[in-house]
Amino acid sequence: MAKRIDVSGLTAYYGSHKAIEDISMSVEPRSVTAFIGPSGCGKSTFLRTLNRMHEVTPGGRVEGKVMLDNEDLYAGGVDPVSVRRTIGMVFQRPNPFPTMSIYDNVAAGLRLNGSYKKAQLDDVVEKSLKGANLWNEVKDRLNKPGSGLSGGQQQRLCIARAIAVEPQVLLMDEPCSALDPISTLAIEDLICELKERFTIVIVTHNMQQAARVSDRTAFFNLAAVGQPGKLIEIDDTERIFSNPSVQATEDYISGRFG
């Protein structure tokens, strides 16, 4: 169910602007990899290239290879829609479908993939909401709109929606930056549970968060504004935060920079 990702020589553009350049890294299955770095260094752009969401932006294009196990996501003939069905994504701001009920939000991905019987859907919805630690809070109001939940609950609803389709990989783009500390803690606990089942990649501005939840950490940086972002180093989280091999990483995490 969880697959590994191998990225090699990946460069992404917005029109003629090169946003990230020549990034290569591997992400192990059933692990949490955190991306840290200053704003504008291309962490989110890189994350969005992993499920081919980058090319949705007008002018967005990508060069290089992203291998999911042995399948190149950017090979000719690969349908981006089916890539996104196997690689789920959670966004910075909670974005449940406001016109759908809580139940329908979770079931949305399944319904895209084909028709299911009501009982099957009920099972998946319950399992996903339990998986997102939200079931007890919403089980009595599954038919109410998802937009009526609190921000933290909405974000967990979005996680439930993403895991309902049993993706291979779960990408999270600053999932806690719009949440209060208690909701953040709930999401972080959830991430630790989810990594038993999924490969997780998380972008975060919060270095304590990276230290708390991730197994490996990648540090991104850019030489100057307008220059493309680059991967400086990726290593075990413990090492990155105690004894990084590149000076820029140490400067960044110790607050001397960025």
Site of interaction with other proteins (CB under 8 A): 51, 53, 56, 81-86, 88-89, 91, 93, 95-100, 108-109, 112-113, 145, 147-148, 158, 161-162, 165
**CB of 79 or CB of 196, closer to other proteins:** 79
Least CB distance from residue 37 to other proteins, whole Å? 22
Least CB distance from residue 112 to other proteins, whole Å? 6
CA 194 to chain centre: 12
Least CB distance from residue 23 to other proteins, whole Å? 21
**CB of 81 or CB of 223, closer to other proteins:** 81
Q: Which of 204, 258, 221, 214 is nearest to 240 (CA)?
A: 214
Residue 146 C-beta-side C-alpha neighbours within 13 Å: 27
d(CA 125, CA 108): 10
Element (H, E) at 154: helix 151-163
**CB of 85 or CB of 239, closer to other proteins:** 85
d(CA 166, CA 194): 11
d(CA 64, CA 7): 8
Residue 38, class by beta-carbon neighbours within 10 Å (0-12 exposed, 13-18 middle, 19+ buried)? middle
Question: Which amino acid, one-letter code, is at 147?
Answer: S
CA 192 to chain centre: 14
Least CB distance from residue 216 to other proteins, whole Å? 23
Q: Which residues contact 130 (CB under 8 A, 6 or more apart)?
A: none
Least CB distance from residue 105 to other proteins, whole Å? 9
**CB of 49 or CB of 237, closer to other proteins:** 49
Least CB distance from residue 108 to other proteins, whole Å? 6
Pair of tokens at residue 138: 């919403």
**CB of 75 or CB of 112, closer to other proteins:** 112
**CB of 52 or CB of 216, closer to other proteins:** 52
Distances (CA, A) of 8 to 50, 62, 76: 12, 12, 17
Least CB distance from residue 113 to other proteins, whole Å? 7
**CB of 82 or CB of 247, closer to other proteins:** 82
Distances (CA, A) of 117 to 86, 107, 110: 21, 11, 11
